Structures are given as C-alpha cells and as structure tokens.
Structure 1
Amino acid sequence: MIQLRFDPSLPLMIPAILAGLALLVAGFALWRGLRGWVWRGLAGLALAAALAGPAIERGQRSGLSDIVIMLEDRTASQGVADRPAQTDDAADSIAAQIASLPNAELRRVSIADDPDGTLLGGGLSQAIAAEPGDRIAGVVAVTDGLLHDSQILPDEIPAPFHVLLTGRPQDWDRRLVIEEAPAFALIDQEARIRLRIADEGQVPAGARQGAVNLHISIDGGEDQTFAVPVDTSLDLPVQIDHAGQNVVRIALDPIADGDGPPELSDQNNSAAISINGVRDRLRVLLVSGEPHAGERTWRNLLKSDAAVDLIHFTILRPPDKSDGVPVDELSLIAFPTRELFLERIDDFDLIIFDRYRVRGILPPDYFRNIVRYVENGGAILVAAGPEMASVESLNLSPMGGILPAYPTGRVIDEPFLPQLTADGERHPVTSGLSGAPDGDSGSWGRWLRMTEVTPEPDVATVMTGAEEKPLLLLNRVGDGRVAMLTSDQVWLWGRGFEGGGPQLELLRRIAHWSMKEPELEEEALLADVSGGLDVRFTRRTMRDSAGPLEITYPDGTVEQLDLQSQGTGRFTANWRAPSAGLYRLQDGQLERVLALGPAAPREFERMVARGDQLASLVEATGGRIVHLSDGIPDLRHVSQGSRAYGRGVSKDWIGITPRQAETVTGLSRRPLLPDWIWLCLIGGFALLGWLVEGRNRDFGRRA
C-alpha cells in the first residue's frame, strides 16, 4: 500500500496562500497578455509544493492464516446409538485435514448440555463474532441438527457453512409428548393431562400396528394401564387424593425386539409430572354447646380465613329445658342433626365440639357415625370446659373411644402458665410458637381453669397446664385426626390478659393439622429443590434420631444418605442427583417420590437427526449437508465464489475459501523529491519566465 502524505516545514496555511497567490498572479498576467505567465505560475506552485513537504508512505505487509471454525455437538441427543463415535471420528478427521493444509488454523467449539436444549445457534454466533471476518475460510458443524435456538442463527457467514450430520437413515424413535399438564389440582377431583404418543423416522412395520400400553402411577403407587392410539392427542384423567406434591409418572410399554432396528432411546418414553394438591375450600362445622366467652374466638378465627366455609351452631335451648314457652312461638331454628351428622357428615373436613354437653340432642347412632367419619379420614377437635368432668362429658358417649384422654372428674380452678412439653417443642403444631415461655417465666399470659384428664397411650401431649397436667393432646385414629384442648380459657390470650399469647396462631395450627395440611405433619420427609439437580432433604420426626435416608435411583441403584441433626426433631442433608429422573426416598415407614428435571427434557423431544433447521443457512453460504453415514468427506481449497462441495472418486468433498488476509507490520516514508530538485525546479521556472518576458522570446511556443 503506497500513499502520498504531507509533512510541511511551516504551517500548511502558508503553502496554501503561496499557491493561491501564484495562481492569482498567473491569471492576472494572462488577462493582461504578458508573456511568461505560465513559468512564473509554475515557479510559485513549485515553491508552495516544496514548503508542503510531500512524501511517499509505503506500508510493509505480512500474510495471515485462514481460520476454520468447527462446532462439535456434545449434547445428550448426541449420546445415543453410535453418534458419539461418529462425532469423534468426524471431528478428528476434519482437524487432521485442516492441520495438513498450508496457512490454516482450526478453532474447535464444543456445544454442551443446557437446560434449554441444544444452543447451537448461540454457539455459532459467538464463535464467528470472536474471529475477524476477513480471516474465516469456512465453518463446519458436526451435529444431529436438533437445535433449540434456531431463531438466533446468524443471518450470514463470510465463508461456506457445512453440516456433517450424524445418525443413520434407518433411525426411528417413539416418544411421549406432554402437551398440557396442570401445576395445581383440587383434592378428590379429576385433573386432566393432555398427551400424545408420537413416532418419528423409519418406524418398523411391527411397531406401527395396534395401540400402545400407557402406564400411570401416582406417588409410586400401583400402575394403571390404558391402551391408547399413536399420533392422537388425548386427555388422561388423574385423581389427586392428598394435599401437597403429587408425582404422576407416565410411561410407555417397552417395544419388543422385532425384525427392524431398535428405537434410538427409551429416555423419552416416560415423564414425571408434579401436581400440587389443594383444597377447594375447607368445610368446617363448629358446634358450641352453650354461649360462653370463648365462643366468639373460634368463630372469628375460622371466618377470618377466606379458604374456610364455616357452619356454626350454638345450642341455646336444649331439649331438657322446660320454661313453658310454646315451640311455635320460639324464634330459634331446630338443630339439623340428621342432615349434619348422618347425611352430609362426609362433606366436612373438620368438626369442632366447643364446650359441647351430651344432652340427648345427638342419639348414640349419630356419635357412632362420627367415629366412622374419623376412622375414614375425618377430623375432630374438642375444646373442653368444666362439662368434660361432668356426667354430660363426650367421653361417656360412643365417641369416647376415639378421644385422646378421659377425664378424672376434677376441674382445676387456679391460674397457670401453658408450657410446651418435649414433644411440643418438636411437633409442628406448637414448635416455634412466638413468645414461648422458658420455665415459669415468659411472655405468655396465664389461663384460669382447666379439666384434669388422663391421656391414652401413644397420644402426643404437646402442652401442659396446671400441675403439669395435659392441656393440648393430639392423636391419630385410623385415617383421621383427633385433637383435644382441656381448657376453654384460650380466649384470654385473645383479650391480652397478662400480655396474651399466640391464640390465633395456635388455633389455626391445630385446625390445619387436624385437616392434614402437609406443612404441619409431625412425621414428614421434605425435599427442597433449589434449582437443577441440587436437593436439600429435611426429615421432621418426633423421635430422637432419623435416617439414614435410602435413595433409589431411576435405574434401581440404592444410595444411603446420612442426615445431620438440626435440633428439635429436624434432620437435614444436602444432595446432588447425578441426572434428571424419578427418585424414590424412604426412611423407615415413610416413603415419597421425587421428580427431578423437566417433565420432558428438550434434548429428548426429538431424537432422529435432521438438517432442515440449518438448510437455509447452508444454502445461503454455498455449503453442504453431508450425512456421516455415507462417510467422512474430504476437505479442499476452493476459490471464492466457486462451488464449495462436490463428489470425488470415492466420497464427497467440502471446500473452504482461502481469504489471503494481510496485516501491516511497518511503515516507511521518504520525500517525494529531494530539496535540491525542488530548488532547481523553482529557479528554472523563474528563470524561464524572466527570459520570456525580458527578451520577448516565446520559448514556450518554440517548444
């Protein structure tokens, strides 16, 4: 590269003024008809040029090597069948051929797994942006063509783009497609999962015939089998039967070996879906045996919860009351005992007996129906007052067999401070209650009365009152729950007596534990998936020890994981799963199922290799899609603008275009003319002008 530069010895304005004056004088002489105007003008211009210091600048250049970018797809879909070997062989062969070419460099870019799938488009764009465009001689991608970011592929590439496609023409795959799955579902109601079984590739004739067996299980339970057609969307009904996480596993029957090749992978033949079970509304029946100061406490608590449907009855006029008032003149409504306790008792999630007395309102058969209701999964909460120690106690009814304690007949009328027991510090109903007292002092207020009871065996006493007698007892009966509060003085906390206490929090926990809310289960195994495959296990128990936790992998491998005590019945451990899938957890009699990773990983959505997503970019750059099942192509140099692919004697070839890029390594500069030549030019032109004007000779015309 040669350029003309100026290096003036004076400010550039002075030579410019001199050049302008020279042209002005020459023009004036021409106008006046004076001889020699040309030579005098040239002399002025030569003087101006000499002062401007013209110089010739010459750049020193050196050639740059060509760059070839090779993308290697190392994602999960490239790990099936013989694709890993195809990828390795093709990448090594291309690398060796580029190394043998003169003036060529190789840039290898590996595309790894990502939660969003194969990000080949982003990797290609970044690799091209990292290199000078005038040095890129070609781009080669070794891939199965299954990318999930085709929208960010570059619009153009300054060199041929070739795709070496893995896989084989006879490949085929069957997959389970989850089209729609709910994140939440109502308990005891059907939820619907929309799915489809899709076949892709060269499906053997034997696999195309008939329906496919679909197996579904919830929380690792017994499988249900359905025969479903292929390539048809259908709604699969599932029923969620408990609150919290429900893991639904759906799997296809394995395909029997036939005459044709096996399918590429069975990893997309199953899916695990987590559905959180929620209650539509909690239906609570509150029966108050008589008006009292604490009655409003229960009503306010339950009415304040928008998720609770409350039916409240207060018995104001028992049948044994005789005051002479005619029945038709009473404004009170009759207690609908038959409808509530016989016909519609199973509609309630919780029944609360608040200071209820046995006065003949409910016949014995109704109490027996309440017992059946609890054993089948219902919940009862008894808030007892002095009536518990009388002949009208619920313990003397058929319901007494499911109550967690029986009264001694003594009522303790003295102030006492509620205390947590050792079980109470562990049980989620009472653990962590705000302001819990320490010993005989604390921030809770005192209560003034309680009934003395003797607890049944295996009943959890979580709070004690006067003389360390049981105050709050919790028990499981069959599939149901029974809770008993042996005092009717909890309302004192709500009124702020002696500082009050966590009245609403305690009553809310009791009610929700009775209704089997998962966060209040005393024996629970929790798994907090913070992201990806990292899990924090928490074992909540009433025992002094827990673990080890037994983890069963999707392939049947079993691992033992030790849990570390965190105090108050909490044991934790951090763990990282080796891969996505369905894991079974077991600690003693407690089991649960954990689904890690997406329900249908994007890498396994499609498995049959195809190049249609890259075809437009390949065609625009003059490249070629070559199937590696036909052999690894040769690599050649082709001139820019020529066809970059072809068929050789034995196999295909692909081409790269040498770019012949250069870089400037130095500059040299020398004056356009030496100073003595400038002096001669200026003096010669001035002398010619003087001779022509002074002696009337026209040397210019003779010349």
Structure 2
Amino acid sequence: MSTTVLFDPLLPVWVIAALAALATCAVIYAFWRGLSGWALRAVAAVIVLAAVCGPVLHRENRAPLSDIVLMLVDQSASQDLSDRAARTEAAAAAVEARIEARTNTELRRIDVPDGQDNSGTEMMAALEDALSREPRGRIAGIVALSDGRIHDMDQMPDLPAPFHLLHSGLETDWDRRLVVRNAPAFAILGEPVLLTLRVEDSGNAPAVPDGKVRVDVSIDGEQPQSFSIPTGRDVELPVTLPHGGRNVLQFSVQAVEGELTDRNNSALVQINGVRDRLRVLLVSGEPHPGGRTWRNLLKSDASVDLVHFTILRPPEKQDGVPVSELSLIAFPTRELFLEKIEDFDLIIFDRYKRRGILPAIYLENVAAYVRKGGAVLVSAGPDFASADSIYRSPLSQIMPARPTARVLDEAFLPNVSDVGERHPVTVDLPQAGNWGRWMRQIEVEVERGDVVMTGVDDRPLLVLDRVEEGRVALLASDQAWLWARGFEGGGPQLELLRRLAHWMMGEPELEEEALWAEATGQNIRIIRRSLEESVGSVTVTSPSGEVFVRDFDEIQPGHFEARHTGDEIGLYRLTNGDKSAVIGLGPAAPREFERTIATDEILTAAIEQRRGGSFAIEDGLPTVRSVRVGRPAAGRGWMGITPREAFEVTDVARVALLPAWLVLLLVSATLIGGWLREGRR
C-alpha cells in the first residue's frame, strides 16, 4: 500500500492566492489595531484557505511485478563451429536456472539465427524487437551468449539495464582465411588482370613453415594452378581469362587440422571477359549502295577498329592517266593478308571478285586463317555468280554453299527458316512480318552449314557454318541496304548485321549451342540453347560431389530451361552432352565465416553503456548479483542485474482531509472564540 496527500483546488490558483493575500492583510490590520482575537481570526483564515485547496488522502493498493532478464542466444552458423553450440546451450541452461532461482525474477530467451541474404548475425535487431515487446521499466538485465561476431551494431538500441556477454570461444581457437580483393566485374581478354590475395591466420595459429602456404587457382573448374604465397601479406596475382563471357575463378588454400573451419579457405570470383577492340577488315569490290551500310555499321561501334580496303582502280582499267599523276595510294595487301591477318577478328568480302589484286596465295592464307579460329563473311552480289567469283579461288574450301551462276532479279521477302527460328542470330528479330522486300538474290546450293534465312522460293539466303575452329557466313544478296533506307517499311538490317558480326567473332551470348546458368539466392536457373528439338537432361554436381539430374523444358524454340535448388554454397558443375558449365552459388565464404575467432570488442559499446561485463564460458559461469542503478554491474566472477521494483496498482481510494462539516465547525469555533475574547476585554 502507498499513501500520499494530493491537492484538488476548488478554485483557480490565482483566486486562492488573492484570498490568501486579503486574509493576510486583514490579520496584519487586526494585529496593528491591537485586537486580542487576531490569532484566532488568522487560524480561521488558514482553515478556509486549506479547505479551498482541497487536500485529499490518496491510497493505492499495489501488486509487485517481477523483474525481467533477457537472454540472447546466438544460433548463427559460426556458432556451429567446433563444440560452440553444445557449450552455449549448456551455459544457457545454467544461466536460466540461476535466474529462475531468484525471487521475483523472470527470464526471456531470444534465439538469434542467421540473417537473411548473408547479412550475418543481427543480434541488435533481435534485442530491439524484444525490448519493444516488454515494459522497459521491468528489464533488469540483458545476457548475450555468443561468439561476439555481431554484424548490426549500428542498430544498437538504448539499453535500460546492464548488458553482459558470455562468449563461446576457446583460448586455443585459430583459423585460416583466404581473401580476394579488388576483383573487377569485367576484364579484357588476352590481358592479365591483377587480383590481390591475402591469407590471414587469426587466433592461436601455429607457425607456418617458411611463412608460405599453397594457393590453388582454377578457372571454370579446370585443372588448378598452384602458387606459394606468404601469410599475412597482400600478394598481387596476374590472371588471364581464357574466353569471353563469364569466367568463374575459384581460389582455395588447403585446410589444416585444428582450424575452426575450412569454409573461408576458398573464394569464388566471377569476371566477364570482354574484347578490348574488335579489329575488322572490310574488303569492298565493286562500289554499290550497300557498301556504305557496312561501313556505317562498323564505324558506329566505338569498340571496332575498321580497316577498309576498297578497289577503286582495278588493273584492267585503262583511262590514259599516267600513273605518276594518280593520287591513289597502293594498299598494303601483302602486309594485311600475309603478315597481319592474324590480328583481325573478322574479314568481310563485300561484292568482291577476283581481279588479280589479291593473288591466290593471299586467299589461301585467308582460308588457313579461318581454320585457325578466324571469321569470314561474304556478302554476295552478281559477282559471286560470275566466272570471276571469289568462290572459284582457295576460299571455296571454306564456303558453305556454291553459286549456280544464276542471279534472281526479282522482288522477294526475306524469311527466317525453321532452323533460323532456333538460331540466336535470327531468333526474335524486330518487326517480324512487316519487313520490306529485297530485289536480288544469288542462287546457291548449300553444301554444309545452317540455312537461317531464305528468299525466293525458299532458296538459301543466309548460311552459317563452322570450319574447324573458325566461322564462315554467306549472305546470298547485296540488297540488305534496302532495309536501312526504309524501303517498303524497311527491316532490322542493323540488328541482323550486328548479330551476324558478333556471332562470327564468337560472342558467348550468340552461341547457337550453349549451356549456362544464373543464380538467385539458392536457386539455379539452368539455360540451354540448341538447334536441336530435344536436349535431354542436365547433370548437376554439387560442391560436395552429390549428383542431381534435372529435365529441361522448352520455353521457346531453341531455348530450354531447368531449375535446381542448391543446399550448399560453392561451385556447381553442369553437364549436358558435350556441353558443360559452372556456376558459383552464394559467397564462397559467407559473412558468418569471414572472421570466426570469438571476441568481445564488437560489443564493447553495449557492455560499457550500462557498466556490464564480458566473460568466457570456458572460465566458468559468473554468479548473479543485485546492484543498484548506476553502480558497476560486473566484477570478477559475478555479473549484476538491477532490480526495478516495478508494480501494478490494483485499487485506489481517496479520502478528503477537511470535510465540509469539519471546516464549518473549526471556522465557527475560531471566529466565536475571537469574538468572545475581544468582547471580554
């Protein structure tokens, strides 16, 4: 029970003050006049003023409330290392028993799991949520059982009670960690990119022989290369990407017996390989409106270095002008077609025919260039069907189709063939069905390759082929420029030629037979592109070696997809027929395993805010004491909680100290007494 005196004035305070002033003046005047009853009159005035102030006796019946201790139990992935989980649970049970053994004290246990999306241990968020659900006036203490690796200290709330840490680490713990820094998202093919590696030993680590460890580096899961690097130092390692598109690099250091975990002994880095400059040689024969189209297309791309070889004065031209007066410069054909040909990524022959300018040995060298991985595109005009056709040269060895010597001078609408509906060069071309017509086509007979577009009476119009390591394309018309001019609505001329050029240069996104994957969280989307109508299933091999088989579903012609959910984090290998790929799922070293040695440094701010303490579980659990607010809440072998003495009011009673009848009686008595005293005198 609690009893207090409250005042509930019957009049405004300023009115009571005015009455008190008047009463005081009256009493002083009576005293000055020498009236013997002035004291009794003063008592009467005081009684009246006290009654106007409304004094009330306030009584509360209170029921005491128990104190609450919050216990945060870290159950993140780093707590599963060694025997931390068992040690932590045993300590939690012991703390719970000691708290519950205290009178008027309750324990609230809050389990703290891993955060979402590799965000680590979010203990402060869990603490703030617990504080929002409990009355802060009842919180007597907060105890955290953790390795101290908290990742959201920026969200630490204002603590209402002492904070204590019981960390689960051991004095003998140690761990080795591999870190890859400054890994770029893109790198230029053929040029080494410098990656910074660091191997860190933390905790009570043993000495390393020679101070160096072996690091293995593999690209796309291939045979790794080994390097010996010192520990505790940044080392720059040059890496050259083998192919365009995504390259998955895996760095790993051998696990050593005794370290806490090998989850942070590897690192996955994904780098996209891009070409620095695409070098293109454009060989133009007879001038025609389409020649400028090729030049505009290639010059519009800032990443293309174009060398344009145009025949303006063939040897057979005789116009009587002395050679000494000509301003034309002889083109370095020998240097281009014999010495520098390997420097080009693509050679385009646009309406070129044999005129004796390029000897057969040059064209033979072009054919050899294709077999070694080069690319040749032939844009055929009437010259391709003539006796001087480029086909009737050493280039016939690599041509996918031969001319019949017939030129079809009639309007036709280019169409995508059945194979073209599945080929990345022609699939889903813009404005399909609204293209303009072309006016000429060269009749050819296909000997090999894929016909992706057709023209007059379904005759081959665009033929693509692979020759050993190289690629060849034949466009059996010189009328593509009509689309660029908007004839009859035009067509996707720039998009078609862009795709065609990029396919010939081996860009990964335009491969007709390809297998790759995309990861979203723990889900893998496996994509297979093929010209076949069926591709079977894909074999997925997890980092631990477990094998799964997933069937493909055809999403659209030539495009197949499969789904797989991986439980592990690391490098997954995908195999479908002769195609293979790799995908890194999640970080190789999750945030929970970046640093694994237990520490109390991260929680120092929370501990010092309310003068709490930090204790190692391996040294024994501290006893629990009661301390006053503001006093040190931790000492050697003990931790303190602050009893809050909280209560709830069950009943309230109010009694007036000066009831009306008592006021009337007292005032009457004092006034009559004063009158009688003054009358007797």
Bucket of the pairwise TM-score, normalised by the shorter protein: over 0.9
CA distance, structure 2, for counterparts of residue 487 and residue 126 of structure 1: 71
- Residue by residue over 1:68-98, the C-alpha shift from the partner in whole angstroms, topping out at 9 and shown as x without a partner, is 1111111121111111211222222222332
What secondary structure sits across from 1:488 in the alignment? coil
Range with greater deviation from structure 2 (604-613 or 657-666) = 657-666
Quote the residue 2:573 is aligned against: 584
Change (3 A) 1:89 1:503: same
Q: 2:382 aligns with which of 386, 410, 420?
A: 386
- Separation of aligned partners in 2, 1:638 and 1:692: 63
Match of 2:57 in 1: 56
- Give the distance between the partners of 1:50 and 1:616, measured in 2 at CA: 55
Matched, 1:279 2:275: yes
SS state of the match for residue 195, structure 2? Answer: strand
> CA shift at 1:490, angstroms?
0.6
1:595 paired with 2:597, answer no
Letter in 2 for 1:611: D
Alignment partner of 1:144 is 2:133: no
1:212 maps to which residue? 213
Q: 2:121 pairs with 118, 121, 129, which one?
A: 118
CA distance in 2, matches of 1:642, 1:49: 43
Partner of 2:443: 452
Secondary structure of the 1:573 match is: strand
SS at match of 1:545: coil
Contact 1:173–1:264, Cα closer than 8 Å, also in 2: yes
Instruction: Name the amino acid aligned to 1:691.
Output: L
Q: How does 1:161-560 map to 2 (within 5 A)?
A: 161-205=163-207, 207-255=208-256, 262-437=258-433, 443-457=434-448, 459-530=449-520, 532-560=521-549
Q: What is the rounded CA distance, in whole Å, between the counterparts of 2:539 and 2:102 in structure 1?
A: 57
- Is contact 1:69–1:138 with CA below 8 Å preserved after alignment? yes
1:134 is paired with a residue whose SS is helix
Q: CA deviation at 1:169?
A: 1.6
Q: Pick the aligned partner of 1:571 from 544, 560, 565.
A: 560
Report Cα offsets for 1:536-567 as digits up to 9, x if no partner: 33222111123422111111111112222212
1:182 touches 1:192 (CA, 8 Å); kept in 2?
no
Give the Cα separation in 2 of the matches to 1:417 and 1:139: 79
Aligned to 2:85: 84
- Aligned residues, how many? 678
Q: Is the 8 A contact 1:15 1:49 kept in 2?
A: no
User: What's 1:701 paired with?
Assistant: none
Structure 1 segment 606-645 matched on structure 2, within 5 A: 606-615=595-604, 617-618=606-607, 621-637=610-626, 644-645=633-634
Q: Quote how far apart the aligned CAs of 1:152 are.
A: 4.3
Aligned AA for 1:448?
Answer: M
| Alpha carbons of structure 1 residues 7 and 655: separation in structure 2 relative to 1, 3 Å | closer
Q: 1:363 to 1:119 in 2, by over 3 A?
A: same
Unaligned runs of 5+ in 1: 438-442, 697-703
Equivalent residue number for residue 693 of structure 1: 678
- 361-370 or 127-136: bigger deviation: 127-136
The alignment's TM-score, normalised by the length of structure 1, stands at 0.91
Q: Structure 1 residues 161 and 511 mapped into 2: Cα distance closer, same or farther (>3 Å)?
A: same
Structure 1 residue 388, shift from structure 2 partner: 0.9
8 Å CA contact 2:542, 2:568 repeated in 1 = no
* Residue 663 of structure 1: how far off its partner (Å): 2.9
SS at structure 2 position matched to 1:424: coil
1:467 & 1:38 partners in 2: Cα distance? 132
**In structure 1, how many angstroms separate the alpha carbons of the residues matched to 2:647 and 2:8?**
27
Contact kept in structure 2, 1:16 and 1:48, CA below 8 Å: no
The letter for the 2-side match of 1:508 is: R
Question: Are residues 673 and 72 of structure 1, via their aligned partners in 2, closer, same or farther at CA, if it must alter by over 3 Å?
Answer: same
The answer as to whether partners of 1:177 and 1:600 remain within 8 angstroms in 2 is no
Quote the Cα distance in structure 2 between the aligned partners of 1:584 and 1:40. 106
Q: Specify every segment of 5 or more residues in structure 2 that has no aligned partner in the other structure, as ranges.
A: none
| Alignment match, 1:440 | none
Q: Give the whole-Å Cα distance in 1 for the aligned partners of 2:411 and 2:631.
A: 101
Aligned-residue CA RMSD (Å): 2.3
Alpha-carbon distance between aligned partners in 1 of 2:45 and 2:611, rounded to the nearest angstrom:
59
After superposition, the C-alpha distances for 1:434-478 in whole angstroms (9 at most, x for unaligned) are 2222xxxxx111111111111123x11110000110001111222
Report the AA paired with residue 219 of structure 2.
I
Please give the alpha-carbon distance, in whole angstroms, between the structure 1 residues aligned to 2:335 and 2:463: 29
Gap change, CA 1:623 and 1:53, over 3 Å in 2: closer
Q: Distance in 1 between matches of 2:451 and 2:630?
A: 88
Structure-1 separation of matches of 2:142 and 2:38: 66
**2:64 touches 2:645 (CA, 8 Å); kept in 1?**
yes
How far apart, CA to CA, are the structure 2 residues paired with 1:39 and 1:403?
133
1:559 counterpart SS class: strand
CA contact (8 A) 1:18 1:44 kept: no
Q: Secondary structure at the match of 1:394?
A: coil
Structure 2 residue matching 1:612: 3-state secondary structure: coil
Mean alpha-carbon deviation: is it higher for 5-14 or for 286-295?
A: 5-14
TM-score with structure 2 length normalisation? 0.94
